[in-house]
Amino acid sequence: MIKNNVVIAGVGESDIGKVPELSGLGLNAQAAKRALDDAGLELKDVDGLLTAYSMTEPYFMMGSVLAEYLGIKPTYCASLTVGGGTPGTALHHAAMAIATGQAKTILVTAGENRATGQSRDAAVQALTQVGHPYFENPYGPLIPSFYAMIANRYMHEFGTKREEMAAVAVRAREHAIRHPASPMSKGITTEDVLSSKPISTPLNILDCCLISDAAGALVVTSADRAKDLKSDPAYLLGIGESHTHEHMTMAPSLTEFGTTISGNAAYDMSGLTPAHIDFAELYDCFSIVPIIEAEELGFAKRGEAGAMFAEGATSIEGSFPINTHGGLLSYAQAGASGGMHGIVEAVRQLRGNEGDRQVKKHDIGLVHNEGGILSSHCTMIFGREAI
Amino acid sequence: MTDLLPSPDMSPDAGPYWDAAKENRFLLQNCDACGEWRFVPSHLCTHCGSDKTSWKEPSGRGVIYSLTTVHRGPTAEFRAYTPYIIVFVDLVEGPRIMTNLIGEGAEHAAIGDAVEVCFEARQGNTKVPQFCLAPKGDAA
Ligand SMILES: [Zn+2]
């Protein structure tokens, strides 16, 4: 059983933004050290390691490479490639290994030096690898082009407004400014978003996530073991996945996604409903995405989540805070790191020590990771206590 | 612009698709077992799992499911053509396909507009299927 028995006992992040003095492996190691410090553990205590992939340092066996870089010899080790869904799915695998006794202390890390490890053109070109090599890339799509077409159809079908998408970016920036580790210090307005450089209509540059140097890490262990550790654990109450396609051409639907399926699996495992969730850290690679996810996860009816962002319900002081760290839009996005920052933030919010970024109700938090073109999903529900 | 865009990468699964495009013909796989059309090309039918399939010529007509105008191309070749339009087309026969929308009036196109297949020359004597707005009154 995963529910109540598996916890995140420590979280850490590397320095965020532009970190030219560290390699991608170095960023993962820095985050791992900070997560272990947070738990009161050392590298020698780690017997499991799961990590992601890297575009800037595309090692063949990333899990083994990171283990040798850290100087550890785990008995459970692999790398996963599920795009932005990787941190959540890695946590799911780690939770299964902890629950079945295959490992006792698992480090889960993700991130890379996306900002300084390659040229901006190389970064943009690397990201075309998400498109279908034979039947999409010959037509010149960017990743934003795929999400732009989802946004146009979603607005057409459900009445989501362009200004509501812009409000998602505005709220993210407001939250990032309050985060001590965030590189952001200046607010933006809806008008700034609407008049920023067009990338692929309707998406402008401020509707798109950052390109950062960043990594995050989790220490995953059993609830029993966490009792003796330094920091308050976050209990994994529910987790679920859904994988409906990779390439957008093959998506079974472009208005209903796997978010609902992974969300329902997480709700079922936890025995909770959307009404029990105090705050959420959603995947926001583009401004349309958290609107879709909030609706698919049951926080608003179809077509109505945009107003939550526009009218302030999702603010830290609002009735349902979303993306309290600033998300991929304004905090950090480095390969697979984006969703990891959401998990780290949820654990910190549950502990309740985040100062002027702290949400008022913080018993139960939900995190959603998404990879590809709304292709692979993982929904996680965390609690301050076992339930 | 006079430079042709690069030739598409072609997978062995889809030889007949690209060979037909060179002759301005649009071919898709049609399952011998269940009769469904499918795209992208694959060894097994994604509807029923059968490995019995034939390449056939669909109507080449469909409607725009969604679209976007690209202002920042992924490579130098595509950047030379910006802004250009990408569309998802729902074919009359069922499958969805992504191409560019080219030809007259493309910049005014909207979701739901009727379109039909056309072809664009690429480098290396290849062609790719594209879609153009259908003549007015020509319902898909
Ligand atoms: Zn079939």
The predicted structure's pLDDT at residue B61: 98
Q: Do B71 and A139 touch (CB under 8 A)?
A: no
Q: Is A195 on the interface with B (CB under 8 A)?
A: no
- Which residues of chain A make contact with B88, given a CB cutoff of 8 A? 149, 248-249, 254
pLDDT at A238 over 90: yes
Indicate which of A135, A152, A160 best probes the interface with B, i.e. most B CBs within 10 Å of its own CB. A135
Q: Do B11 and A200 touch (CB under 8 A)?
A: no
pLDDT at A118 over 90: no
pLDDT tens digit sequence for A151-162: 999 999 999 999
CA distance A304 to chain B (A): 21
The predicted structure's pLDDT at residue B1: 46
Q: Do A141 and B74 touch (CB under 8 A)?
A: yes
Angle between helices A259-270 and A289-296 (to 10 degrees): 40
The predicted structure's pLDDT at residue A130: 84
Strand, coil or helix: what is B110?
Answer: coil
The predicted structure's pLDDT at residue A221: 98
Q: Which among B6, B66, B81 has the least Cβ separation from residue A254?
A: B66
The predicted structure's pLDDT at residue A120: 67
Tell me what the pLDDT averaged over chain B comes to.
94
Q: How far is the CA of B40 from the centre of ligand 1 (A)?
A: 14
Determine what percent of chain A is predicted with pLDDT higher than 90.
96
Q: How far is the CA of B33 from the centre of ligand 1 (A)?
A: 5
Tell me what the pLDDT averaged over chain A comes to.
96
Q: How confident is the model at residue A127 (pLDDT cuts 50, 70, 90)?
A: low
The arithmetic mean of pLDDT across residues A288-292, rounded, is 98
Q: Which residue has the higher pLDDT, B1 or B33?
A: B33
pLDDT tens digit sequence for A74-87: 999 999 999 999 99
- Which residues of chain A make contact with B122, given a CB cutoff of 8 A? 138
Q: Is B78 on the interface with A (CB under 8 A)?
A: yes
The predicted structure's pLDDT at residue B139: 52
Q: Which among B14, B65, B71 has the least Cβ separation from residue A153?
A: B65
CA distance A371 to chain B (A): 20
The arithmetic mean of pLDDT across residues B78-98, rounded, is 97
Domains of chain A in sequence order: 6-118+212-226 (3.40.47.10), 132-209+237-383 (3.40.47.10)
Write down the residue that tokens 């939770």 correspond to: A95
CA distance B138 to chain A (A): 23
pLDDT at A326 over 80: yes
The predicted structure's pLDDT at residue A194: 98
The predicted structure's pLDDT at residue A12: 98
The predicted structure's pLDDT at residue B2: 59
CA distance B92 to chain A (A): 16
The predicted structure's pLDDT at residue B136: 78
Q: How confident is the model at residue A266 (pLDDT cuts 50, 70, 90)?
A: very high
**ipTM summary value:** 0.96
pLDDT tens digit sequence for B21-45: 999 999 999 999 999 999 999 999 9
Task: Write down the CATH number for the domain with range B59-140.
Answer: 2.40.50.840
Cross-strand bridge partners of residue A2:
none
For CATH 2.40.50.840, list the domain ranges present in chain B.
Answer: 59-140
Q: Which residue has the higher pLDDT, A119 or B17?
A: B17
Segment among A117-131, A302-316, A347-361 with least mean pLDDT: A117-131
- Which residues of chain A make contact with B8, given a CB cutoff of 8 A? 134, 137-138
pLDDT at A242 over 50: yes
Segment among A115-129, A169-183, A359-373, B35-49 with least mean pLDDT: A115-129
The predicted structure's pLDDT at residue A368: 98
pLDDT at B140 over 50: no
